[in-house]
């Protein structure tokens, strides 16, 4: 017992800093503070939070510098995959955070656990279109739905959308995109509306393009549409059919002196009833299977993880894009310049 | 002629030199902080960038056995068992010390799909294959190991330095035989992008000159009070953030923006003009942003041109136009040169404005440098593109130097 206390005292001396959790900042982190961080502190573990802008290089520097000042970090799917391969994260022991069965299968990873699920959806202005579009095929139909279209600049999400519009079933999109013929097919489909496309680069742009009437429809992050409707009293609609979702995950950095506290934190924010509070404040889905059960029904309808919204959605394939992004970006720019 | 020998038998010349040297040292000491600052914030980072564009370390560091085994390989056919055994050992080792991801990424640049091949194989090699079976074991794990292209990719990436990224930045690559060939059609974009970058730079420079010259002339010829007021308008853009100015243009130029609404209201157009998310928008916004950089050097030169020359020319019977072209214009050449060079060099490095008001076909080279730096972390290619841009810019600056040097303000009176 005495040795235990001595060891505890020693490790307390070694880890002179509190648990540090890092997220994306902005409105999202404000909500996290309110429903995750502050209540978690109240359970008796000291912690502070920081924000970052992503980038595997930042994590490399943190871990390989040997002076990791961060413990738990929220990362995007590419960073999760790359960092896991490079050994920047601790392998996650799901037994300590409620067991794998508690989480949606797509959000379980050997190095991380899903934090939020969010989608690229088809967004449109209900005040401008006579009838509601039903999917990506309507997005490419400029006769029935006149007006310009907004798409994210680059091949990622654009090629998937083009294939779905051309009749490829969501589940077959990456199989098709893995072939040269499939890539050709996607670009051919894009050719059909090439002159009507406005390319956006940052997530804040699509709602602006809709609001200014520059485009009639656009691909857009679901949370942005929700925010525009709530905060700016817009009347924007979303189409969940053929939505592309992606997952941000929590990871524990290798070499963290606060592993135990990190698990405590992840266990806390993995609870369905806690996660439900996040979704009620910002339109993101979360990773616990039962979280939607705790969310108010009117909020649930606009969440990526609602069953109806998940039905015809696919996850953006990180492995595919890690392998093909450089090549297809060159191809995309060649096509754009023609 | 007897040499002047002063006190202490030290020739005057030498004493003069000594005094001169001391003065030079003092001057040097004064600029030393600036020099150090330049060295650390400018030259070393640029050197680092140039080095990164030729550095090719990942494969050589993570797979030393394989690189050694391939040193005698002629590249004609898939290498023999020893190379496979070395590869298996390297894959296993680098998977354990986590350096494999860099190898996978680097080889994937050469042959799409090798990322999966390398990572997948490395993940599954727990024990070294029995002697003599490495080849079949690896090919059974992934047929790509039985292909020549995989091995030429490894050999080509052996490092420690290579021309891979620099060639890539010029739409070139080495084929399986090692000779330089053009990159496949659908991937050859960078020469076009450099052309586009310099084209937009030239266009913006020309527009700035055409628009800026009269303004500078007006500023230089007005009485002080009025010209100061005008100067405030010229300087106003300097006090507003670039992002704000660019977004203001979006508001003005968009389909339902102020300009299109005005034109429709007047009845000049029925359908909105496309003034943004294309080349037109890029030219308008960049010209606006860069105009002060043209006006200020022109103005400072024009201020110093005496009006007496023009009066003299007119009194000698030259019509105003001739007097302007033969007498006034040549004297403004240094200002024009400085303004054009400044605007052009700023323009070819532009990133945020074309990114926001341009379409997919209007992105300049900086966009791609940023993309490879932050999105795909392909720093080799990002550095190579930066290096090509730097060299091209230096060449242009040299040409400019030659041109301007050739006609140092003779006032155009020679012709």
Banded model confidence at residue A9, pLDDT cuts 50, 70, 90? very low
- The closest of A101, A104, A124, A125 to A115, measured between CA atoms, is A104
Which residues from chain B sit within 8 angstroms of residue A204, using beta carbons?
Answer: none
DSSP reduced 3-state for A66: coil
Neighbouring-strand partners of residue A23: A51
Angle separating helix axes B329-348 and B190-221, nearest 10 degrees: 140
Which residues from chain B sit within 8 angstroms of residue A337, using beta carbons?
Answer: 189, 192, 196, 360-361
Q: Tell me whether B112 touches chain A (CB under 8 Å).
A: yes
Residue A158 CA, distance from chain mean position: 17
Q: Which helix (H) or strand (E) holds B7?
A: none
| Whether the Cβ atoms of residue A287 and residue A102 lie closer than 8 Å to each other | no
Assess whether pLDDT exceeds 50 at residue A189: yes
Q: What is the pLDDT of residue A294?
A: 96
Question: Which residues in A207-240 are b (16+ Cβ under 10 Å) and which e?
Answer: bbbbeebbbbbbbbbbbbbbbbbeeeebebbbbb
Residue B186 CA, distance from chain mean position: 23
Q: For residues B376 and B167, what is the distance between their CA atoms, to the nearest angstrom?
A: 19
- The closest of A130, A109, A103, A140 to A267, measured between CA atoms, is A103
Across the interface, of B98, B196, B255, the residue whose CB is closest to A214 is: B255
Q: What is the pLDDT of residue B406?
A: 58
Q: Tell me whether B357 touches chain A (CB under 8 Å).
A: no
Q: What is the pLDDT of residue B408?
A: 53
Q: What is the pLDDT of residue B163?
A: 95
DSSP string, A277-320: HHHHHSS-EESBTTGGGGS-HHHHTTSTTSHHHHTT-EE--HHH
Burial of B225 (0-12, 13-18, 19+ CB in 10 A): exposed
Neighbouring-strand partners of residue A150: A198, A218
| Whether the Cβ atoms of residue A22 and residue A51 lie closer than 8 Å to each other | yes
Banded model confidence at residue A7, pLDDT cuts 50, 70, 90? very low
Q: How is residue A278 written in tokens?
A: 């996040």
Which residues from chain A sit within 8 angstroms of residue B144, using beta carbons?
Answer: none
3-state secondary structure B299-316: HHHHHCCCCHHHHHHHHC
Residue B394 CA, distance from chain mean position: 10
pLDDT in tens, A114-144: 999 999 999 999 999 989 999 999 999 999 9
Alpha helices, DSSP H only, in chain A?
Answer: 2-14, 26-32, 38-42, 56-64, 77-86, 136-139, 158-165, 173-177, 180-191, 205-211, 222-231, 259-269, 272-281, 297-300, 307-310, 318-337
Q: Tell me whether B96 touches chain A (CB under 8 Å).
A: no
Neighbouring-strand partners of residue B55: B161
DSSP string, B133-186: -HHHHHHHH-GGGGSHHHHHHHHHT--SB-SHHHHHHTTEEE-TTS-EEEPPGG
pLDDT in tens, A76-123: 999 999 999 888 999 999 999 999 999 999 999 999 999 999 999 999
Contacts of A186-191 with C-beta under 8 Å, sequence gap 24+, read: A186/A158, A186/A159, A186/A162, A187/A159, A187/A162, A187/A331, A187/A335, A189/A140, A189/A162, A189/A163, A189/A165, A190/A158, A190/A162, A190/A335
DSSP reduced 3-state for B285: helix
Q: What is the pLDDT of residue B415?
A: 37
Which residues from chain B sit within 8 angstroms of residue A325, using beta carbons?
Answer: 375-376
What are the phi and psi torsion angles at B157 (to 5°)? -100, 15
| Whether the Cβ atoms of residue B372 and residue B382 lie closer than 8 Å to each other | yes
Q: What is the DSSP letter of B406?
A: H
Q: What is the DSSP letter of A106?
A: G
Name the one residue in this structure whose structure tokens are 């794990």.
B141
Q: Tell me whether A332 touches chain B (CB under 8 Å).
A: yes
Q: Which residue has the higher pLDDT, A11 or B363?
A: B363
Ranges of residues in chain B with a pLDDT under 50 are: 1-2, 6, 409-415
Q: What is the pLDDT of residue B400?
A: 83
- The closest of A71, A92, A83 to A20, measured between CA atoms, is A71
Which residues from chain A sit within 8 angstroms of residue B361, using beta carbons?
Answer: 336-338
Q: What is the pLDDT of residue B373?
A: 87
Q: What is the pLDDT of residue A65?
A: 78
Residue in chain A lying closest to B255 (CA): A214
| Whether the Cβ atoms of residue B353 and residue B242 lie closer than 8 Å to each other | yes
Instruction: Return the beta strands (E) in B3-96 as ranges.
Output: none
| Most B CBs within 10 Å, among A81, A89, A159, A326, to test the B interface | A326
> Nearest CA of chain B to the CA of A127: how many Å?
15
Assess whether pLDDT exceeds 90 at residue A311: yes
Q: What is the pLDDT of residue A56?
A: 87
- The closest of B353, B251, B355 to A199, measured between CA atoms, is B355
> Nearest CA of chain A to the CA of B208: how many Å?
26
Residue in chain B lying closest to A183 (CA): B186
Banded model confidence at residue A13, pLDDT cuts 50, 70, 90? very low
Q: Tell me whether A82 touches chain B (CB under 8 Å).
A: yes
As a residue count, chain B comes to 415
Residue in chain B lying closest to A151 (CA): B360
What are the phi and psi torsion angles at A155 (to 5°)? -80, -25
pLDDT in tens, B68-118: 999 989 888 999 999 999 999 999 999 988 889 999 999 999 999 999 999
Q: What is the pLDDT of residue A61?
A: 85
Q: What is the pLDDT of residue B239?
A: 85
DSSP reduced 3-state for B343: helix
| Whether the Cβ atoms of residue B249 and residue B289 lie closer than 8 Å to each other | no
Alpha-carbon dihedral angle through residues B70, B74, B76, B78, given to the nearest 10 degrees: -20
| Most B CBs within 10 Å, among A57, A333, A338, to test the B interface | A333
DSSP string, B318-336: --HHHHIIIIIHHHHHHHH
CB-based contact A333 B360, cutoff 8 Å: yes
Residue A219 CA, distance from chain mean position: 15
| Most B CBs within 10 Å, among A56, A85, A207, A255, to test the B interface | A85
Q: What is the pLDDT of residue B316?
A: 93
Neighbouring-strand partners of residue A19: A47
| Whether the Cβ atoms of residue B237 and residue B289 lie closer than 8 Å to each other | yes
From residue B399, give the alpha-carbon distance in Å to each of B71, B344, B410. 44, 13, 19
CB-based contact A325 B375, cutoff 8 Å: yes
| Whether the Cβ atoms of residue A242 and residue A156 lie closer than 8 Å to each other | no
Burial of A105 (0-12, 13-18, 19+ CB in 10 A): exposed
Name the one residue in this structure whose structure tokens are 């039962």.
A290
| Whether the Cβ atoms of residue B379 and residue B373 lie closer than 8 Å to each other | yes
CB-based contact B101 A86, cutoff 8 Å: yes
Which residues from chain A sit within 8 angstroms of residue B112, using beta carbons?
Answer: 323-324, 327
CB-based contact B116 A324, cutoff 8 Å: no
Q: Tell me whether A56 touches chain B (CB under 8 Å).
A: yes
| Whether the Cβ atoms of residue A135 and residue A239 lie closer than 8 Å to each other | yes
Across the interface, of A55, A213, A330, the residue whose CB is closest to B255 is: A213
| Whether the Cβ atoms of residue B168 and residue A312 lie closer than 8 Å to each other | no
Q: For residues A222 and A213, what is the distance between their CA atoms, to the nearest angstrom?
A: 19
């Amino acid at each position: 017992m005495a040795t235990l206390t001595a060891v505890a005292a020693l490790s307390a001396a070694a880890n002179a800093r509190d648990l540090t959790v890092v997220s994306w900042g902005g409105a999202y982190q404000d909500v996290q503070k309110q429903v995750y961080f502050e209540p978690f502190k109240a359970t008796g573990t000291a912690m502070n939070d920081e924000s970052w802008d992503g980038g595997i290089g930042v994590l490399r520097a943190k871990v390989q510098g040997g002076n990791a000042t961060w413990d738990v970090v929220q990362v995007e799917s590419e960073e999760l995959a790359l960092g896991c391969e490079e050994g920047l994260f601790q392998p996650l022991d799901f037994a300590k955070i409620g067991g794998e069965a508690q989480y949606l299968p797509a959000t379980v990873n050997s190095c991380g656990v899903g934090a939020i699920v969010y989608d690229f959806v088809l967004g449109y202005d209900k005040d401008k279109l006579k009838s509601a579009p039903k999917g990506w095929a309507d997005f490419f139909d400029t006769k029935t739905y006149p007006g310009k279209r907004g798409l994210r600049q680059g091949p990622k999400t654009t090629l998937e959308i083009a294939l779905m519009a051309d009749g490829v079933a969501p589940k077959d999109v990456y199989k098709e995109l893995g072939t040269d013929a499939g890539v050709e097919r996607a670009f051919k489909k894009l050719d059909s509306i090439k002159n009507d496309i406005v390319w956006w680069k940052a997530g804040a742009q699509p709602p602006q393009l809709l609001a200014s009437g520059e485009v009639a429809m656009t691909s857009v992050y679901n949370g942005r549409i929700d925010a525009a409707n709530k905060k700016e009293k817009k009347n924007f609609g979303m189409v969940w059919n053929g939505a592309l979702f992606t997952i941000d995950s929590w990871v524990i950095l290798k070499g963290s002196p606060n592993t135990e506290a990190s698990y405590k934190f992840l266990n806390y924010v993995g609870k369905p009833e806690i996660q439900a509070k996040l979704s009620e404040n910002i339109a993101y889905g979360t990773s616990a299977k039962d979280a939607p059960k705790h969310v108010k029904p009117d909020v649930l309808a606009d969440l990526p993880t609602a069953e109806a919204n998940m039905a015809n959605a696919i996850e953006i394939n990180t492995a595919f894009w890690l392998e093909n992004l450089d090549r297809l970006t060159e191809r995309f720019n060649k096509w754009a310049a023609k | 002629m007897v040499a002047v020998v002063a006190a202490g038998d030290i020739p005057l010349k030498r004493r003069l030199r000594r005094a001169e040297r001391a003065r030079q040292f003092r001057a040097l000491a004064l600029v030393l902080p600036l020099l150090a600052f330049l060295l650390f914030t400018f030259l070393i980072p640029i050197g680092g960038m140039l080095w990164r564009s030729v550095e090719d370390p990942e494969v050589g560091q993570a797979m030393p056995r394989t690189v050694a085994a391939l040193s005698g390989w002629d590249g004609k056919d898939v290498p023999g068992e020893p190379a496979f055994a070395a590869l298996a050992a390297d894959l296993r080792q680098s998977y354990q010390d986590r350096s494999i991801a860099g190898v996978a990424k680097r080889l994937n640049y050469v042959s799409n799909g090798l990322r999966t091949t390398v990572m997948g194989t490395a993940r599954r090699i727990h024990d070294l294959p029995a002697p003599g079976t490495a080849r079949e074991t690896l090919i059974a794990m992934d047929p790509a190991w039985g292909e020549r292209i995989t091995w030429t990719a490894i050999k080509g990436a052996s490092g420690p330095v290579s021309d891979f990224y620099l060639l890539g930045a010029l739409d070139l690559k080495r084929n399986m035989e090692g000779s330089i060939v053009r990159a496949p059609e659908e991937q050859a974009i960078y020469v076009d992008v450099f052309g586009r970058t310099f084209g937009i730079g030239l266009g913006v420079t020309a527009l700035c000159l055409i628009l800026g010259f009269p303004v500078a002339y007006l500023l230089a010829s007005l009485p002080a009070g009025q010209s100061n007021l005008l100067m405030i308008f010229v300087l106003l853009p300097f006090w507003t953030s670039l992002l704000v100015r660019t977004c203001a243009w979006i508001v003005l130029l968009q389909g339902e923006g102020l300009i299109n609404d005005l034109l429709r209201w007047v009845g000049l157009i029925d359908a909105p003009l496309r003034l943004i998310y294309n080349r037109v928008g890029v030219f308008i916004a960049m010209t606006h942003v860069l105009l002060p950089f043209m006006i200020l050097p022109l103005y400072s030169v024009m201020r110093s041109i005496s009006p007496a020359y023009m009066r003299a020319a007119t009194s000698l019977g030259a019509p105003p136009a001739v007097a302007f072209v033969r007498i006034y214009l040549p004297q403004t050449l240094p200002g024009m040169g400085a303004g054009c060079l400044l605007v052009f060099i700023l323009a070819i490095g532009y990133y945020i404005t074309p990114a926001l008001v341009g379409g997919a076909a209007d992105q300049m080279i900086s966009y791609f440098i940023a993309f490879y730096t932050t999105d795909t972390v392909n720093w080799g290619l990002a550095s190579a593109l930066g290096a090509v841009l730097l060299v091209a810019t230096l060449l242009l600056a040299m040409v400019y130097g030659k041109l301007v040097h050739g006609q140092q303000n003779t006032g155009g009176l020679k012709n």
